[in-house]
Amino acid sequence: MTGILLVQGDITRQRADAIVNAANSSLLGGGGVDGAIHRRGGPAILAECRALRASRYGRGLPTGQAVATTAGRLGAQWVIHTVGPVFSADEDRSPLLASCYRASLRVADELGARTVAFPAISTGVYGWPMADAARIAVAAVRSADTAVEEVRFVLLDAPAYEVFARQIG
């Protein structure tokens, strides 16, 4: 069974087999978690992302999918990049958000990663309300068929941590 752990802090300070990046389709970096991961992880991550764009993902990584690179200087072996959906009040994109967690855990299984740290995907620049995102994230992880032993949600601030804590129950 996969254990779920909550941590408040900066995901780039975590030690885990894999750290998940809330990326965008370009895989070439951005703000938020993505910016922090590339800054602290160093240029090796971007080099592998560029190579992915030149090969398998010429059109970018589609929303809801995931792909791994080295973690560079981070305290992990791999970064798993996934692209969350932009929140929409008119359209239910929650299957895509759930897919980010499931696809990332599938990639983790392929790599043999046993501990995986996730940020709250789509809740920053992409505008997803935290409580709804937490509900989707926890349900997706709980229902995933995975060999990952520990999923750690790493929440930047206390309000986000509290929202996830309520969701875990």
- The Cα–Cα gap between 50 and 168 comes to 37
Residue 145, number of CB atoms within 10 A of its CB: 9
Which range touches ligand AR6 (CB under 6 A), out of 19-27, 50-58, 105-113, 145-153?
Answer: 19-27
Q: Which is nearer to ligand AR6, 2 or 26 (CB)?
A: 26
Given the residues 10, 17, 34, 90, select the one marked as catalytic. Answer: 34
Query: Does 167 participate in binding ligand AR6 (rule CB under 6 A)?
Result: no
Query: Does 30 participate in binding ligand AR6 (rule CB under 6 A)?
Result: yes
What is the per-residue binding string for ligand AR6 in 127-156, x denoting contact by CB under 6 A? ---------------------------x-x
Interacting residues with ligand AR6 between 72 and 91 (CB under 6 A): 84
Q: What contacts 24+ positions apart, CB below 8 Å, involve 24-31? A: 24/83, 25/60, 25/61, 25/62, 25/63, 25/83, 26/53, 26/60, 27/52, 27/53, 27/57, 27/60, 27/61, 27/67, 27/81, 28/53, 30/125, 31/124, 31/125
Does 157 participate in catalysis according to the annotation? no
Host H or E run for residue 164: helix 158-168
Which range touches ligand AR6 (CB under 6 A), out of 42-50, 59-67, 106-114, 124-132?
Answer: 124-132
Q: Cβ 11 to ligand AR6, closest distance in Å?
A: 4
Q: How far is CA 38 from CA 71, 94, 167, in A?
A: 9, 27, 30
Count of residues near ligand AR6 by CB under 6 A: 24
Q: Name the site residues for ligand AR6 (rule: CB under 6 A).
A: 10-12, 22-24, 30-34, 36, 84, 119-126, 154, 156, 160
Return the active site residues.
34
